[in-house]
Structures are given as C-alpha cells and as structure tokens.
Amino acid sequence: MNQCVISDPLFILAPPRSLTSVVCAMLGQHPQMYGLPETHLFSAAFIGEWWDLCERSNFEMADGLLRAIAELYFGEQTETTVRRAVGWLRRRAHYTTGYLLEILANRVHPHILVEASPSMASDLGILERAYSMFPDAKFIHLVQHPRGYGEAVIEAINDAKVHGPVPQWLLQLASYSNLTTNSEPSISWRVLHLNISEFLKSIHRDQKMLIRAEDLFAEPSPGLKRIAAWMGLRTDDDAVESMKHPEQSVYACFGPQNAVYGNDAFFLKDPALRPKQACYSLDGPLSWRHDGQGFLPEVKDFAQQFGYE
C-alpha cells in the first residue's frame, strides 16, 4: 500500500486501428519505459466494474491486462499464469482501476508505463478519469490521415470476414453514423479525434504532444528522439535504436489460448517496424465508397488542423 512515489504514466491517445499498438511497443522498448498491452482500465472506476464490462464486451477486452499481470507477477504468459492472473485480478475487484495501474507502475519502477488503450478515445469521461487519477501523466495524441485510417478499418473488416462474422466494434468504427448506408470510417475518425482534442484542451502544454503517425513512420529516429527528450529520458543512439524494435516487446505476439490478444491483431501477426512513406490526400474519391464521393467537409477541415492536405 505504502509504495514508492511512481512517475505517472504516458498515455497514447488515438482511435482503434491507428497504430497505437506498434507505437506503444516502440516507446516501451526505450530502456526507461515499459509498454503495456491494451488494459482498457479507465473504462471503469473499479476492477469489479471492469470485469463486468469485459464480460459484456464485444471484443477480448480483458486479454491485455491479464497478459500484463501474468508477465509481471507470474513471470510468463502461459495458460496457467493467465489463470493465476484472473484469480489475482478477481481478488482485487474492490480496487480502483487507477490504483491497479499504480501497482503495475510500481512493479516496473523505475520504468515509466506506456498505455495505449484505444477505448480511452471513445468517451471524455474515460479520459477525465485517467487524468484525475494521474494528474502528472503525459499524453501523446497520435493522429493518422483519415484516408490511411479508413483503409486500415476496411482492411480489418475484410480480414475478419475471412474468419467469420465481423466484430461489432469494427462495424461501429466503419459506420459511426446512421446518415449513410455506406461504410464511412472517416466519421469515427473525426468523432474520436474530436474527443481527444477536446480533452487535451484542459491539459498543460508540457504534458501533451501531437504526433502524426506518418511522420513517425517515415523517419522514426528523429520522432522517437523528440518523444524521449520531451519525456525527459535518454536520447542517445542506443535508446533510440531500441525503440525501433517493437517486435521485442513481450506483448508483440499472440498470447496463450485464454488471452490471445491485448493488442491490434495485425500488429500481433507482424510486429516489426517497417519505415514507410505514406502520401495521402484529403481530396478525391474514397476507396471504400461505391458512390465515388470524397471526405465530408468537416472531416477535411479537422484533418487540416493536423497539417494534412
């Protein structure tokens, strides 16, 4: 209970399918940081409530936290240790979710925790809960061009169709609005980034940073170095080189049968970093629409605020 004073975590804020898994794993490879899988902790105030949400969830919401507990408290991620992690977490059902994250932070101390649950972007209340519990936390707003995001969502849907029914959360991302029968993921892009932007308005400028995923992936070294410097951490070549190997994260692969995911499935399949140049435009038809239409004006306006053209 009376643990050392921990550093508040670094939260990466972005919608699902926005490269949070790979960026979290990259930052987590810095010698002074520890990247968690998706814990979705702040969707609830208490662990008992979090369990209830996991049971009702339309995705494997518990996998990330169970893998982290199995790894950090039981030394490995196997079916046996995940079962132990379930018991460990059930016994702590009365804890606040913030206290549980503090316990994990103590466990990895002096490393700083990096958390990147995309569910945080879905609700201002979730973001505010995280901030009220960790008022010293830092936040990276990770943006991606709406075209790249839309294609990633459609790619995930097409991939899911091969294996069976498409998960509800993916369908929701693709058609956030009832205004159109077309898949239009750019609406969820705008809504979720608006949530993040709105929340970040109240955060001190020293505690937040905007990162465009395309910039980070085109030239990882300067981007990663800039983040480490902003965090007040080592920026030497070794530290930056470590961050270019997200595949070395203990969570950069599928977990055991009873906690398979905990990160984006595409990342789990292929976690290595491949620097790439992406050149997207806000104009022109969208590949996922059959009517040849482009982005809605409000999506374009908002994307331009992030410097996209």
Partner 1 sequence: MVDALFILAPPRSFTTIVCAMLGQHPQMYGLPELHLFGARTIGEWFQQCAHASFDMDHGLVRVIAELFFGEQTEKSIARARGWLMRRSHCTTEMIFELVAEKVHPLIPIDKSPSLVYNPQCLQYVRALFPDARYIYLTRHPRGHGESVMRYLEERAKLGPIPPGHWLVGLASYPYSFLSENHMTHERRDVDPQRGWYALNQNICEFLESIPDEQKLRIRGEDLLSRPADALGKIVRWMQLRDDPVAIEEMMHPERSPYAGFGPLGARFGNDRSFLRSPTMRPVRPIVQNLEGPLSWREDGRGFLPEVKELARQFGY
Asked if 286 touches partner 1 (CB under 8 A), the answer is: no
Residues 20-49 within binding reach of partner 1 (CB under 8 A)? 45-46
What SS3 state is found at 208?
strand
- Smallest CA-to-CA distance from 119 within 213, 188, 179, 25 is with 188
Local structure of residue 289 (DSSP, 8 states): -
Among 31, 110, 125, 135, binds partner 1 (CB under 8 A): 135
Least distance (Å) between residue 128 CB and partner 1 = 11
CA gap 218, 91 in Å, rounded:
45
Q: Based on CB atoms, which residue is closest to partner 1, 11 or 295?
A: 11
Least distance (Å) between residue 102 CB and partner 1 = 5
Among 76, 136, 241, 309, binds partner 1 (CB under 8 A): 136
Residue 236's φ and ψ, nearest 5 degrees, are -70, 170
Among 12, 33, 133, 252, binds partner 1 (CB under 8 A): 133
CA gap 268, 21 in Å, rounded:
9
Least distance (Å) between residue 211 CB and partner 1 = 24
Least distance (Å) between residue 101 CB and partner 1 = 8
Listed ranges 2-10, 61-69, 166-174, 283-291: which one lies at the site for partner 1 (CB under 8 A): 2-10
Handedness of CA 164, 166, 168, 169 (dihedral sign): positive
- Reading the block at residue 194, the tokens are 């608006």
Residues 216-235 within binding reach of partner 1 (CB under 8 A)? none
Among 59, 95, 169, 266, binds partner 1 (CB under 8 A): 95
Listed ranges 88-96, 138-146, 171-179, 286-294: which one lies at the site for partner 1 (CB under 8 A): 88-96
Tell me the β-bridge partners of 141: 13, 210
Local structure of residue 209 (DSSP, 8 states): E
Among 78, 96, 172, 221, binds partner 1 (CB under 8 A): 96
Listed ranges 79-87, 92-100, 277-285, 290-298: which one lies at the site for partner 1 (CB under 8 A): 92-100
Asked if 98 touches partner 1 (CB under 8 A), the answer is: yes
Tell me the β-bridge partners of 13: 141
Q: Confirm if 43 and 226 have CB atoms less than 8 A apart.
A: no
What SS3 state is found at 115?
strand
CA gap 229, 209 in Å, rounded:
12
Cα of 265 vs its chain's centroid, Å: 12
Asked if 94 touches partner 1 (CB under 8 A), the answer is: yes
Peptide bond into 31 cis (omega under 30): no
Asked if 309 touches partner 1 (CB under 8 A), the answer is: no
Asked if 5 touches partner 1 (CB under 8 A), the answer is: yes
Which residues are near partner 1 by CB under 8 A? 1-2, 5, 8, 45-46, 94-96, 98-99, 101-102, 132-136
